[in-house]
Chain A
Amino acid sequence: MREVAIVGISMIKFGRYADRDFAQLSAQAVLEALKDAGMEMKQIEALYSGNLYQTSGSGQRILQQIGQTGIPVVNVANACATGSTAFREAYFAVASGAYDVVMAVGSEQMGKQGLLGSRGDPATSLEGRVGSYMMPAVFGMAGMEHARKYGTKQEHFALASVKNHWHSTMNPLAQYQKESPLDEVLNSRMIAYPNTLLMCCPTGDGAAAAILTSMDKARQFTTQPIKVAASVLTSDPFTDRDLTLPDINTLTRNAAKLAYEQAGIGPEDLDQVELHDCFATAELLHYENLGLCGDGEAAMHVASGAPWLGNKIPTKYEEDVAPFRDKTYQPKTKAVVNASGGLLSKGHPLGATGVANIAEIVFHLRGQAGQRQVEGSKVGLAHVIGLCSACTIHILQK
């Protein structure tokens, strides 16, 4: 297997694009990634396209917009891990030696479709009659399982929203760039306890693209090649309740273990993490799953300031956080989490997310993240989880 580098990257601003289709959104991302790498479409040898709703031919439709060069196209669908799975396929295409220059695109156009999983025939749907299968319920219960084990409070989860919403004000590509103090998060409309509206990610449209080459060719295109130090994909192993309560933890833990082994580093070496905060509850669970803190320490970790930009609670939120802070807790890792604003603010156009998370890490490793730049970032981890269930982890190094 060869070393693989990212030499071109892009992400269009996430939001709602009623006047464009997903292929046009993707074409914009493709164009920006090509420009970033100083390349032309004819140099791309294969395309890996992640899109969840456009189940067939998404990549071909993108090429019809921006360059029908006749290259092989692989279309990928893998729940919320769709974009990152496409990226991983692109990674393997280069690592194996099959191609030297490939592109991964993640895209989605969701519009204002409301709650995921709320559709179905009203006569025979189980939703709301035999429990709830919508994502807010699943991640509400996942948070409650943490509360059951460790006594985590709604406020602890809400702090992840305060943090990520604050981070997003420094990210011009984020769908929302609006701060929300703790009382605003807690007092927003309840969706599924303990997650309020401001603890749920929005639906939206977006696209992101990455160009990968072998490391030995990378310097032809960039002075700052970013090394893909680990690429891992797992699915959910059997657990006693797994047909009832999706287990988002075990497959993330399995993926993290493999990723750290591949990269030859540990969580203490990470400068930053983009993790799958589809709901505020999920963010805290993944602190533990990724080894950013010990089991049962997530509530203390978020309140310690460690995962916040600058590794400390900004003065304006000190009062909000103080009641939940455990002064005896010493964070063992320094990774800033979701400097982009996370899915909670940056947005979560399903197929685009996996590539966009990688793009965010690349921006920082290159020192291009503007106001939200994680100072001196050298190693970053991008995590995505999709239900029923797929988890990807990529570790990127300068």
Chain B
Amino acid sequence: MAEATATQGEVRPLVPHLTLGETRDQDYLNGSVCKKCGTKYVGPRLFCGVCSSDGPFETIRLANTGTVHVWTIIHQATPYVQAPYIAAVVDLDGGGSVNTNIVGIEPKPENMKFGMRVKMFTEKVSEDREGNSYIAYRFTPIEGEN
């Protein structure tokens, strides 16, 4: 059994702030709130960089929609990534900001705008030598809201 699992590989989130569900449409971004000072973080935390405590932290589910705060278009990319692509910081509805790729739109400055409404989805982006696959999140413009 153990061998079978190893060859099949695990499905893993590429980042700790992505929680995987049974299916890809159940995946969500997680965050944590310091119960001492109320600071909201993206992803799990053991310690609070604002009030210098060890929390405790409440694990929360972050929104899967948000707005583009800033963006850039990367033309010179690392070798395993296809360029050009849009890299952005998205402010999630209800709090928390994430780095992400914006897809589903041609990567040209004239197509982008600050405050663009976007929605998250997840997909497999890579596989390691042991056969484990990695799931990442991306954002795409919300039709009818831009």
Contact = CB atoms under 8 A, between A and B. Distances in A.
A238 B127 CA distance: 35
B100 A128 contact: no
Contacts, number: 131
B99 A131 contact: yes
Interface stretch (B19-27, B53-61, B64-72): B64-72
Interface of A: 115, 118-134, 136-137, 140-141, 144-145, 148, 189-194, 238, 240-241, 243-245
Contacts of A148: 69-70, 114
Size category of the binding interface on chain B: 35 or more
Counting chain A CB atoms within 10 Å of each CB, the highest count among B41, B70, B114 belongs to B70
B49 to A, nearest CB: 6
B46 to A, nearest CB: 14
Contact of B70 (A124, A126, A144, A191): A144
Contacts of A127: 78, 81
A129 B101 contact: yes
Contact of B99 (A118, A119, A130, A194): A130
Contact of A118 (B75, B78, B85): B78
A57 B4 CA distance: 48
Given A126-B14, A128-B77, A128-B101, 17 more contacts: A122-B80, A128-B74, A130-B98, A130-B100, A132-B72, A133-B99, A136-B74, A140-B72, A141-B71, A141-B87, A189-B76, A192-B73, A192-B75, A193-B72, A193-B75, A193-B109, A194-B109
A246 B109 CA distance: 22
Interface of B: 14-15, 39, 41-42, 49-50, 69-81, 83-85, 87-89, 91, 97-101, 109, 114, 125-129, 134, 136-137
Contacts of B75: 189-193
Contacts of A141: 70-72, 87-89
A131 B87 CA distance: 5
Contacts of A115: 76, 78
16 contacts: A118-B79, A122-B80, A123-B127, A124-B126, A124-B128, A125-B80, A131-B87, A132-B87, A133-B99, A136-B74, A136-B76, A141-B72, A144-B70, A190-B84, A192-B73, A238-B39
Nearest to A195: B72
Contact of A245 (B73, B81, B97, B127): B97
